[in-house]
Amino acid sequence: MLIDSHVNLHAPQFDADREAVIDRARKAGVGLMINIGDKVSGFDAVHAVAMAHPDIWCTVGTHPHEAKENPGLDVRTLCDLAARPKVVGIGETGLDFHYDLSPRDIQAKVFRVHAAAARETGLPLVVHTREADDAMAAILEEEHAAGPFKLLMHCYTSGPELARRAAALGAWFSVSGIATFKGAEEVRAVIRDMPADRIIVETDCPYLAPAPLRGRRNEPAFLPYVLDALAKTRGWSLADAEARTEDAFFALFDAIPRP
Sign of CA dihedral 75, 78, 79, 80: positive
- Give residue 49's pLDDT: 98
Segment 16-34, tens digit of pLDDT:
999 999 999 999 999 999 9
| pLDDT > 90: percent of the chain | 100
Domains of the chain: 2-252 (3.20.20.140)
Tens digits of residue pLDDT in 83-106: 999 999 999 999 999 999 999 999
Q: How many residues does the chain have?
A: 259
CB 68 within 8 A of CB 103: yes
Res. 35 pLDDT band, cuts 50 70 90 = very high
- The widest CA-to-CA distance across the chain, in whole angstroms, is 47
Q: Which residues contact 70 (CB under 8 A, 6 or more apart)?
A: 39, 40, 41, 62, 110
Which DSSP string corresponds to 209-220? Answer: PPTTSTTSPP-G
Amino acid at 165: R
Q: What separation in angstroms does the CA of 172 have from each of 7, 94, 124, 243, 248? A: 17, 15, 10, 16, 8
pTM of the model: 0.98
- Report the distance separating Cα 126 and Cα 118, nearest Å: 9
205-218 CB burial, b ≥16 within 10 A, e <16: bbebbbeeeeeeeb
